[in-house]
Amino acid sequence: MTSRFEDKGFSLAYRDTGPADAQTLVFVHAMSFHQDIWQDVISRLPDGLRIVSYDQRGHGESDIPALPYSLDDYADDAIRLLDYLEVQGCHLVGISFGGLVAQRVAELRPDLVERLVLSNTATKIGVLEDWMEGAAVARTEGFCRKKIEDSFQHLFSPTFCQSSPRYEELVARRLLLSVEGYVGCCQAIGHADLSNSNVASRPAQPALVIGTDNDIVTPRDIVEELAAYLPNGQFRLIRGAGHLPCVDKPKEFADLLVSFLDL
């Protein structure tokens, strides 16, 4: 069941299931998607866990506050939601842009995060000029099925695009994404840079960093660099997946979570 958390004049859609005193996993989705991208991972986790997921601002069923957005805005959304839900010491799982958000939450509020799982992400993703160009194109042309299907070729494996029953569902949901939500996310990602030469300022939580062998958005070498950058990072590879292995290879993703988090 989806609930709503309202604060600062807008609301976030979220789900919170399981015992309040159980180990808590919090899932942060990728840009242009929604919390349901985690469903095939969550369904494979052991019973008895507390599971929190939510739609980031401008995505899914959450509201679209006025632009511009920054990475700290997204991190603050997560922090306010977790404080509202009285979550502490969670296992924070973020993928792609959600991985940037998770890193920033771990920096700003280390009391909230016991362990990190960062998938197909980095301290900086892409360059500002490309993100601003993408925002401008979205504003002038909007979204169409062909553009979305073309983008999915870069996000998912050929096997998923050709045969997964979830493919059509994700295309349909992607068509519903608001242009303003997309533009705001482009603004945040384009300006985000979490690299810090001071090791003591980097997230110190034990961190599982997951990469894939078919990701052209955050290639394996960039994700491995993130694992080396974090003081307590370890890298694991999922083969045969694109940029979003939680969708492409949910069993393999869930197995890594279970092992790393001792679930």
Domains of the chain: 3-261 (3.40.50.1820)
Q: What is the rounded CA–CA span in Å between residue 6 and residue 12?
A: 6
CB–CB of 3/14 below 8 Å? yes
Per-position pLDDT tens, the chain of length 263: 899 999 999 999 999 999 999 999 999 999 999 999 999 999 999 999 999 999 999 999 999 999 999 999 999 999 999 999 999 999 999 999 999 999 999 999 999 999 999 999 999 999 999 999 999 999 999 998 999 999 999 899 999 999 999 999 999 999 999 999 999 999 999 999 999 878 888 999 999 999 999 999 999 999 999 999 999 999 999 999 999 999 999 999 999 999 999 99
HSE on the CB side for 42, CA within 13 Å? Answer: 21
Cβ-based burial of 66 (10 A; exposed 0-12, middle 13-18, buried ≥19):
exposed
Taking a C-beta distance cutoff of 8 angstroms, is the pair 248, 240 a contact? yes
Quick one: pLDDT at residue 201? Answer: 85
Among 263, 160, 260, 143, CA closest to 210: 260
> Residue written as tokens 């996310």?
185
CB atoms < 10 A from the CB of 68, how many? 11
Answer whether 51's CB lies under 8 Å from 27's CB: yes
Amino acid at 139: R
> Whole-angstrom Cα distance, residue 217 to residue 245?
13
pLDDT tens per residue, range 123-140: 999 999 999 999 999 999
Contact predicate 244/37, CB 8 Å? yes
The CA distance from 106 to 111, in Å, is 8
Share of the chain above pLDDT 90, in %: 95
Tally the C-alpha atoms within 13 A of residue 97's C-alpha that lie toward its C-beta. 29
